[in-house]
């Protein structure tokens, strides 16, 4: 039995959707539905230090989707759409020198899911139409293509409920099951499956509680809303809550902590009455982080909390200029 290992951005709707689209593409166009191939999945998380361990690329073929590049000789496929796609200039040079025709980057895409679908169609003849609903919502959610902050925060569409489970649930076997379901079922049907639906209500209650905590801890500093939610177990809150609660803010900066990192999150309000004037990826790259121009983050070691708070304060000050 041969194995394709798919490493995807963990607890991320676009990451999970990318894994599903890549897997269906690989099954249909690369191995032609051969039964002697199995799929294995590993979530990847941004953290301080090395992002890839020795077990990450243990397949006969190995793929990374919606996550940073690795120069490992065992990496076969790579798709990403982040501007901060490389850990070092050497990694970027390694990618630029690649001639395999299986590694792709385009930061102009709103979602990696749509990027994979388009490349798989144009280069390999993959028909992504059966996954159109998933691709549409991945593009909308990762690109924040909403009319207002109310849409993602109030979560009325089924896609938001599925995204809530994907972004909040730490049971990776469950997430792997979702990846497999999304390859053959419409998104709405997957969101209504009993094992998904029963997780929505407690997670939605937690979402409402996180709104209360942000409202209580936030302070507005000029165009920036800042909040420190360390101690509240809030890894994975909706990044649109600050703009729902503080619609006049142009930027949000927050500090959170989990078992594997201290995190500074930096975002911009898509509906701000004042235009964004800062490149948030460029700011975060100076501290070892990255992302997109409109949303970015920095991950430090869990014990580096005070450093994280210092960096957050510096970024708040910079965003006021």
- Rounded Cα distance, 308 and 213, in Å: 20
Cα→Cα distances 262→23, 139, 238, 304, Å: 32, 28, 17, 6
Measured CA angle at 32 (ends 28, 38), to 5 deg = 85
Q: What is the pLDDT of residue 275?
A: 87
Contact criterion met (CB below 8 Å) for 308 and 264: yes
Per-residue confidence at 321, pLDDT binned at 50, 70, 90?
confident
Domains defined along the chain, listed by start: 2-146+171-185 (3.90.1640), 218-319 (3.10.310.30)
What distance in Å separates the CA atoms of residue 25 and residue 22, rounded to the nearest whole number? 5
Query: Which pLDDT value is given to residue 245?
Result: 97
- Tens digits of residue pLDDT in 243-293: 999 999 999 999 999 888 999 999 999 998 888 999 999 999 999 999 989
Task: With CA atoms as reference, report the closest residue to 125 among 32, 213, 46.
Answer: 32
Contacts of 51 (CB under 8 A, 6+ apart): 44, 67, 68, 70, 87
pTM of the complete model:
0.87
**Predicted local distance difference test score (pLDDT) of residue 51:** 76
């Amino acid at each position: 039995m041969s194995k394709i290992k798919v490493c995807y951005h963990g607890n991320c709707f676009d990451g999970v959707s990318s894994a599903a689209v890549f897997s269906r593409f690989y099954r249909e166009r690369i191995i032609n539905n051969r039964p002697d191939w199995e799929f294995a999945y590993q979530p990847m998380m941004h953290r301080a230090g090395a992002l890839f361990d020795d077990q990450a690329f243990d397949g006969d073929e190995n793929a990374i989707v919606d996550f940073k590049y690795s120069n490992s000789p065992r990496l076969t496929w790579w798709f990403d759409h982040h501007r901060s796609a490389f850990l070092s200039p050497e990694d970027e040079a390694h990618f630029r020198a690649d001639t395999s025709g299986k590694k792709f980057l385009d930061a102009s895409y709103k979602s990696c899911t749509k990027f994979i679908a388009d490349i798989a169609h144009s280069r390999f003849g993959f028909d992504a139409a059966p996954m159109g609903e998933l691709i549409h919502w991945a593009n909308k959610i990762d690109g924040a293509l909403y009319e207002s902050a109310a849409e993602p925060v109030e979560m009325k569409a089924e896609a938001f409920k599925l995204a809530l489970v994907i972004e909040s649930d730490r049971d990776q076997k469950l997430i792997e099951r979702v990846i497999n379901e999304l390859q053959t079922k419409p998104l709405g049907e997957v969101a209504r499956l009993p094992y998904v639906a029963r997780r929505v209500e407690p997670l939605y209650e937690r979402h409402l509680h996180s709104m209360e905590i942000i409202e209580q801890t936030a302070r507005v500093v000029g165009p920036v809303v800042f909040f420190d939610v360390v101690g509240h177990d809030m890894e994975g809150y909706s990044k649109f809550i600050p703009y729902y609660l503080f619609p006049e803010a142009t930027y949000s900066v927050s500090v959170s902590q989990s078992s594997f990192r201290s995190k500074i999150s930096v975002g911009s309000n898509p509906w701000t009455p004042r235009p964004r004037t800062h490149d948030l990826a460029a700011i975060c790259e100076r501290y070892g982080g990255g992302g997109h121009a409109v949303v970015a983050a920095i991950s430090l070691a869990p014990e580096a909390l005070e450093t994280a708070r210092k960096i957050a304060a510096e970024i708040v000050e910079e965003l006021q200029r």
